[in-house]
Amino acid sequence: MSVIAPNFKLSGFIKSLIDDVVWAVLIVSLIGLPAIMMVLFVIPMPVIDGELLTPFLAFTYLADPTRTLPIVQAFMTTDMFKIMAFPGFGFAALLAAGTIFVERKMLAKLQLRVGPFYCGKVEGILQLMGDGLKLISKEIIIPAKADKPIFWAAPVLFVASAAAFVALIPVAPGWVVADVDMGLLGVFAVIGFFPIVTILSAWSANSKFPFIGGIRALFQMVSFEIPLILSLLGVVMVTGTLNLSEIAASQSSFPWIVFLPVGAIVFFITMLAELERIPFDLPEAESEIVAGWLTELSGMMYGLVQLGTYLKLYAFAALFVVLFLGGWNGPMIVPPFPMEIVTHGLEMGPVTVKVGGLEPLLTQVITQEMLNGTLMFVLKTVGVIFFILLPRGVFPRIRVDMLLNLGWTKLIGLAFVNIFIALALVYAGVLGPGGLQ
């Protein structure tokens, strides 16, 4: 639109070309080649049809789909795929990026304005990429008297704990990064780690505004942890297990929110407080303490903290869906893959295209059940995220003493009411081992 290009100079153009070539050579030789070496030496190569799969063999196989599909299938069952793409980091990052975009546009529509608009041809889709590139290009300024090792490590620890939280959530039956038997206890442990990281980051910055912000974040997160844990105990009582996949599987006929609505509401409110969303965004209260504990972070450290925050948002919403809304259960809306394409092949005019190797992929890895489960899960998570984003447009910020009052008295009371309801349901035989399944 209003980009003003400077005058074209041939020397400047050639200089930029040479710059690009130099950077490309540097990056390939210093990062690309060691990465390939690591892949070749550290990660065990699968054995397909009696042959060890080296990168050269993989490239030849790519030309023939009958041979590519077993590779893809073998890859999709490895741990690395689960950590990186689905349901781990890639899936969560995609949902988080979508959340950021939807948040900005939905909030803009609520406030009768447009939101991101120029970046990307369609109503500002590439705005997030533009923001990320901007953050990478900024200088990271460390205050002189800050405690440097801890200050550098704090955003990385934040993203690491958020990623650990994402790793515990089951998305479809059998698809979870870390299948821990006491999954819910693992969730509590990771949630307990967040205030520590926040106060480390705030204290090591050695400045007044992060200090106040960090203390407030500590108050907020610690005082809302107890109602959080208590509200989930009701679900544990009626299902009898701490494993998140089993809790999701036990809701095949009805979600737990029907029987434990009070617990769901308490969990929702404490979730907003743990995520530092409005109305509980005291630690970053802009008008009083500049930016709270994020004041001294600049450049990519701020970018990492934002990434961690949105991963946490996805993980909490997913936890709500798994525990209260039924996880991946739901009506079967994904149509089954027509099996004639597998057995007879696809008919395109005079030619029949038959692709081997499709059958084990479709029956073992990408089944109809898994696709349907993922779709229901994503729909429910998107719904919960909408309700998390909505209060941002509607409520002001609450004050510290009101927050503490809420967390230590009212919510704990409501959580105990929820536990009594759950106990009554189990002992009356309505739910649990003896009652409705």
Partner 1 sequence: MTNTATGIIRALNSGIKHIATKRFTLRYPEEKLKFVGDGYQFDPSTGVGIAGLKGRHMLFHDHCTGCQLCSIACEGVAEAIAMVKVPEEQKQNKKSIMPQIDYGKCVFCGLCVDACPFYALYMTNDYELSSFSKEGLIYTPAQLAVKPYVEQDSEIVITKYGATHG
Partner 2 sequence: MTAELPPGLAIQKVDERIMTLNVGPQHPGSGHMRIIVQIDGDYIVACDPDPGYVHRGEEKMAEYRNYITNIPHLERPVIHDSCNVLYPYVLGVEELLGIEVPERAKYVRVICSELNRCIYIMYWLAIYGIFLGHSTMFMWPAGDRELLIDLMEKISGARVTHAHFVPGGVRNDLPPNFEEVCLRQVNYFEKRIREYAAVFYDNPILISRTQDTGVLSREDAIRLGTTGSVLRASGVSYDLRQKEPYDVYEELDVHSPVMKEGDSYARSKIPWLDMLESCNIIKQALEKMPKSGSVRVKLKPNPKGKGLDSVYKRVESGRGSLGCHIVSDGKVEPYRLKLSVGSFRNLIALPYLLKGEKLGNMPSVYWSLNYWPVEADR
Binding site for partner 2 (CB under 8 A): 107, 110-113, 208, 278-279, 281, 285-288, 290, 392-402
Closest by CA to 108, choosing from 123, 93, 98, 95, is: 123
Residue 345 contacts which entry, partner 1, partner 2, none (Cβ below 5-8 A, type-dependent): none
3 state DSSP class of 350? coil
Looking at the Cβ atoms of 2 and 287, the one nearer to partner 2 is 287
Q: Exposed, middle or buried: residue 123 (CB in 10 Å: 0-12, 13-18, 19+)?
A: middle
Enter the tokens of residue 424.
């009554």
Specify the DSSP element, H or E, that contains 353.
Answer: strand 351-353
| Residue 53 or 106 with smaller CB distance to partner 1 | 106
Angstrom distance (rounded) from CA 271 to CA 220: 11
Of 221 and 229, CB closest to partner 2: 221
Among 80, 110, 379, 402, the residue binding partner 1 under the rule CB under 8 A is 110
Q: Closest CB to partner 1 among 30 and 122?
A: 122
CA angle 288, 294, 299 (to 5 degrees): 130
As beta bridge partners, residue 348 has 351
Stretch that binds partner 1, among 74-82, 112-120, 237-245, 422-430 (CB under 8 A): 112-120
If DSSP codes are grouped into helix, strand and coil, which group holds residue 47?
A: strand
What does 98-122 look like in DSSP terms, one character per residue?
A: HHHHHHHHHHHHHTTS--S-SSSTT
Question: Which of the choices partner 1, partner 2, none does residue 390 contact, using the CB cut-off of 5 to 8 A by kind?
Answer: partner 1
Q: Evaluate whether 235 touches 229 at the Cβ level (below 8 Å).
A: no
| Cβ at position 112, least distance to partner 1 in Å | 5
Tell me the closest approach of the beta carbon of residue 401 to partner 2, in angstroms. 7
Residue among 48, 106, 378, 423 that touches partner 1 (CB under 8 A): 106
Question: In this structure, are residues 311 and 353 in contact, taking their beta carbons and an 8 Å threshold?
Answer: no
Q: Does 390 bind partner 1 (CB under 8 A)?
A: yes
* Between 344 and 399, CB nearer to partner 2: 399
In the bound state with partner 2, the residue whose beta carbon lies nearer, of 130 and 393, is: 393
CA atoms within 13 A on the CB side of 114: 8
Work out whether 113 is an interface residue with partner 1 (CB under 8 A): yes
Binding of partner 1 by 394 (CB under 8 A): yes
Which one, 105 or 380, has the nearer CB to partner 1?
A: 105
Q: Is 327 left (phi over 0), alpha (psi -120 to 50) or beta?
A: left
Least Cβ distance, residue 203 to partner 2 (angstroms): 15
What does the binding site for partner 1 look like in residue numbers (CB under 8 A)? 1-2, 106, 108-114, 117, 390-391, 393-395
